Chains A and B, each alone.
Chain A
């Protein structure tokens, strides 16, 4: 009971902050829209996807990738923000409480996943209204399930980095060396068939690729790896990240 209340407390705090920091929500939505509108129509006008006749244009093709990008940026930085808690003694207040570190970790993950899910639902509605994405009840629910799995992994990854870092200076490094490679090597912006083999190799070992592929399968009906493999990789990735995350929280010093 105590741990459950504690879990709720950590989540409650994150959710309250989310509802108050509107600027975060706005920036989380503007970036994907810029990509979809400018990059999507700019590059889309001169790209041949081999999907002629299927009704899938370049904007629709990258839509799943843009959802993934939104999660990568939003969730990873959400996790990293634990550094801010360290700088004021708020984290100490939480860590002194008679709660297990695992509970604190899960509270954070849930908080980040809630924020991210709200952003994704708004993007899905915009996608349906502005970019010709047709959601069915099935594809909408599946989308949210895939998105949730990826968010849990990425928030955990952010928390792992955040628990090891003491200052915000590392943010740029994480952007350059984690977010961009994960995104560009996920096939979010291009089809993964026909890639040179060295590049294809990177795509295959990148767990984020499977989130893009799974979303593309349920939203557009285009699949590269097959849904069972996608889910297997995503669940495995989430479990590994949670395991490392709880471990790094336990050894985090005040």
Chain B
């Protein structure tokens, strides 16, 4: 069964087309990733699916409900973890959960039990009575993750869940997200511009650029498309003709002063290639990553590892309430 189905979903902001005729089918129980650079339309897509903003054209169904005509049912059946902090600093972790449970109409007799359960799931039981201004960025995300689960949604949307977190915390959080997916059996839709995150976490992912899906498959299959290892050469005057003659070189791409080759069994053939291509400043060879896949489909690299606006920058300026 498809938990999410979009038909030509489109969002225009004045003259900018943020999401362009998007067609997605997301199945129950998967961790589905939307991968793309900042401004590719990931958050806009998520916002439309969560009924936060209306689509300009096209339609989408979430849990069988139409996002335009059945917004309220959609909202009841989804959880959303925002890119920016969205909990109250002055309240404790548990109080923030309590507020959420009340707003989503969780059965009063079950609220305490459910709060205990989600707190345990994200290992925050011991810190639940502390005010959230004393939480670290990672703890805050975990609490917001737990909060998104309180009303037992069928689908959980995570918008850049690890943006601005250090690598260790990030990996830690992936563990929690995987745990949610297996223990709660809910469908998780995640946006990210971190290749590694998409690779490790997602069952399937859609690579999005300029509001369009350019590729959609499992991470392993996406990488297979490249059909070989990636060799990156820094070179001023490449002898392309000579390289083209080599049978094991599948693809040649020239970018600035770099030559990017897709090569069968690169380790074995590196020597020969280097001899033919000309004077090389540096060389790098690796098995394909999602970054290479992205490059392959879009011709540009993901502008990776930079936060948009900065989770913490915004947090710091927000001041105290």
Contact (Cβ within 8 A) B86 A92: yes
Number of A-B contacts (CB under 8 A): 82
Contact (Cβ within 8 A) A89 B88: no
- Give the secondary structure class of B's interface: loop
Contacts of A10 in B (CB 8 A): 103
Contacts of A95 in B (CB 8 A): 52
Interface check B95, CB cutoff 8 A: yes
Q: List 8 A-B contacts (CB under 8 A).
A: A9-B103, A17-B91, A84-B319, A87-B314, A90-B87, A94-B103, A96-B52, A96-B75
Central interface residue in B50, B53, B317, B321, by most chain A CB within 10 Å: B321
Interface check A1, CB cutoff 8 A: yes
Contacts of A90 in B (CB 8 A): 86-88
Contact (Cβ within 8 A) A85 B91: no
Residue of A nearest to B99 (CB): A9
Interface check A21, CB cutoff 8 A: yes
Interface check A8, CB cutoff 8 A: yes
- Out of B82, B90, B321, which one reaches A93, CB within 8 Å? B82
Interface check B116, CB cutoff 8 A: no
How many angstroms from the CA of A40 to the CA of B20 in the assembled complex?
67
Known pairs A84-B321, A88-B315; A5 contacts B105 (CB<8 A): yes
Contact indicator per residue, chain B 298-321, by CB within 8 Å of chain A (1) or not (0): 000000000000000011011101
Sort A-B residue pairs by CB-CB distance and give the 9 closest, nearest first: A9-B102, A89-B86, A2-B105, A97-B103, A93-B86, A98-B75, A89-B84, A89-B82, A5-B102
Residue of B nearest to A81 (CB): B321
How many angstroms from the CA of A97 to the CA of B106 in the assembled complex?
12
Contact indicator per residue, chain A 173-184, by CB within 8 Å of chain B (1) or not (0): 000000000000
Contacts of A81 in B (CB 8 A): 321
Interface check B2, CB cutoff 8 A: no
Residue of B nearest to A85 (CB): B321
Contact (Cβ within 8 A) B99 A12: yes
How many angstroms from the CA of A9 to the CA of B199 in the assembled complex?
39
Contact (Cβ within 8 A) B76 A98: yes
Residue of A nearest to B80 (CB): A96
In the complex, what's the smallest C-beta–C-beta distance from A162 to chain B, in angstroms?
13
Contact (Cβ within 8 A) A6 B87: no
How many angstroms from the CA of A21 to the CA of B91 in the assembled complex?
11
Residue of A nearest to B144 (CB): A93
Task: Identify which of residues 1-28 in chain A touch chain B, using a CB-to-CB cut-off of 8 Å.
Answer: 1-2, 5-6, 8-10, 12-13, 16-17, 20-21
